[in-house]
Amino acid sequence: MDYYKTQTEFNCGIDLHTNQMYVCVMDPAGEKLVHSNIRHNDFGYFLNRVDPYRHDLTVVCESTCNWYWLADACFEADIEFVLAHALYLKHIHGGKNKNDRIDSKKLAHLLRTNLIPPAYAHPAARRPARGLFRQRMRFVWDRSTLMAQLGMNQYAEGFEPAPGRGGNRDQWEENILEQYTNPIHQFSARMSMEMIRAYDKQIGMIEKRLETESRKDYATELAVVKTVPGIGQILALTILYEIDTIDRFPTVKDFLSYCRLVKGSVSSAGKFKGLKGSKMGNAYLRWAFGHAAVTAKRRNPLIGAYAERLTAKHGKFKANAILGAKIARAVYFMLERSTVFDVDKLVSAKI
């Protein structure tokens, strides 16, 4: 784990909430200079309170769901901002008592002593598009849930799932309704199908808008990533917007860890205790590379044969994880070196 190294004389910890923020400013010796609650997140009032220290100040807050505005406000005010990794931070500053006042003080102390595990503060210009991609993924997952539920309902009644799921929605609905004689079952199927069609429409609109936006941000990178079998336009853009820039990962190991494709280990006194950290990292990249692995082995014969050898040795689930990690590794070097995908390198790797 890397830690942020503060370079300012004064350091400010902020325990941020939706309608208030508890602020603690410290000097290098750990003396509290400001320690108070600011209601309604009044940033103008915050600037007045920290004005004597503003010329050499760093602000830190945890990576909760509401940090965007604070990062942007600090940037506009020319104040150094650090985003603390909330999950990693939890393992560092535990204590018997916990409240906003204590949390802000601990954040300031950790920043002052260079013990803040930093998270990546995504640039404001690209956050809206990334948010739209995440919204699309949630819609896709919700639609998949509805489609799976339709199939399970048919199994429950002793039917085989009706054909046509991936094609024409009208024909698929007709095939389902032909199986049912109960009018309530038919009504339920129609309601689910209406929701699926609504998701189809919204997902299509989002994809059209995102393809337009992506031309401004990732024209070259998109062409590179799409050379990977199994990664199309939307999946490539999902990966790129979650990465933002490959330069922020010093090594490929850092990248794979961020993608949730490797686990941490626990050992003590020379004894291996087990694995941990499977949910530390970016869930969207973990899903994207997992999906790319499943698709790639279907579309490319060489990758398909390689996946079969992985499955024979490790089992299907672990084989998919290994293949996803290898594709992610390839994408890292492709973006770093601006080179296209080389399938021979991937399939020649040791199993």
Instruction: Calculate what percentage of the chain has a pLDDT beyond 70.
Output: 93
We find that the CATH architecture of domain 10-112 is: 2-Layer Sandwich (3.30)
Query: Rounded to whole angstroms, how far apart are CA atoms 186 and 173?
Result: 10
Q: Please, are residues 125 and 62 in contact by the beta-carbon 8 Å criterion?
A: no
What integer best gives the mean pLDDT of the chain? 89
Question: Average pLDDT of 67-91?
Answer: 91
Q: DSSP per residue over 54-108, as a string?
A: GGGEEEEEE--TT-HHHHHHHHHTT-EEEEE-HHHHHTTS--S---HHHHHHHHH
**Beta-carbon contacts of residue 119 (< 8 Å; ≥ 6 apart):** 63, 83, 84, 85, 86
Instruction: State the pLDDT confidence band at 92, using cuts at 50, 70 and 90.
Output: low
pLDDT of residue 74: 96
pLDDT of residue 349: 75
Span 243-288, pLDDT tens digits? 999 999 999 999 999 999 987 666 666 665 555 556 678 999 999 9
Instruction: State the pLDDT confidence band at 65, using cuts at 50, 70 and 90.
Output: confident
Q: Please, are residues 126 and 210 in contact by the beta-carbon 8 Å criterion?
A: no
Question: Average pLDDT of 290-311?
Answer: 93
pLDDT of residue 93: 60
